[in-house]
Amino acid sequence: MSSEDTERRSRATEAFFGRRKGKALRENQIDLMSTLLPSLRLDLAAPAPAALADLYNREVERLRLEIGFGGGEHLAHRAAEQPSTGFIGVEPFVNSMAKLLAKVDEQGLDNIRVYDDDATQLLDWLPAASIDQIDLLYPDPWPKKKHWKRRFVSQVNLTRFQRVLKPGGLFCFASDIDTYVNWTLMHCRDHGGFQWLAEEPSDWLSPFASWPGTRYEAKARREGRSSAYLTFRRI
């Protein structure tokens, strides 16, 4: 890799998310960050296990990755709903991680592992064809056109998705920002490694099965914005 490529990659991976921490954590959140997080955090300094199911202390049949889980509502809901699925959640924002850890602790969820840094690092660490589904739900839209290059959906990251997804694996995307929805459709079309599964116009306006909603979605609806839900199959 040339020095120019290395610099470009560094700029890109640093730009996918903004600030890392918001308001001060409560005492119980600080405790969970120091006691529970170390037991759930993936160690990328060690090689990934050949079978990702070995990351969990229970038997899992499927592996599902959520990138940018926000407050963790969706991730915790899915983990409770699908105990035989192993979940990996990525979220660099400290306050969001603390909220998920509280849900994991309260509900006794034992099928979640997390990574609290750049998702591209995790994607590069994962074995090929190891993930059944990737969820990218309400990602930062970087709404100003000059910032669109910071959007997580890109040809480079779609190639990462294609590598780690099993053949026939799913990439699910949700957003309330029209330009990002169109951006994702065009990037997946141009990439060639994904098939959009919508069969009729109403499909992309219908939430995913057993959809619990998220706080970002609720905010969008309060502000008069509808959401789109896109499902792509890895070819």
Q: Given 140, 176, 178, 203, which residue is catalytic?
A: 140
For residue 132, give the 3-state DSSP assignment: strand
Query: Long-range CB contacts (< 8 A, 24+ apart) of 215-218?
Result: 215/70, 215/71, 215/73, 216/70, 216/137, 216/138, 216/176, 217/138, 217/174, 217/176
**Residue 115: which residues within 8 A CB-CB, separation 6 or more?**
41, 42, 44, 88, 89, 90, 121, 122
User: Between vectors from CA 196 to CA 177 and to CA 221, what angle results, nearest 5°?
Assistant: 25
Q: Tell me the C-alpha distance between 67 and 72, whole Å.
A: 11
Per the annotation, the verdict on 140 as an active-site residue is: yes
* Two structure tokens written together for 109: 């969820």
Compute, in degrees rounded to 10, the torsion defined by CA atoms 121, 53, 197, 218. Answer: -70
For residue 226, give the 3-state DSSP assignment: coil
User: Which residues are part of the catalytic machinery?
Assistant: 140
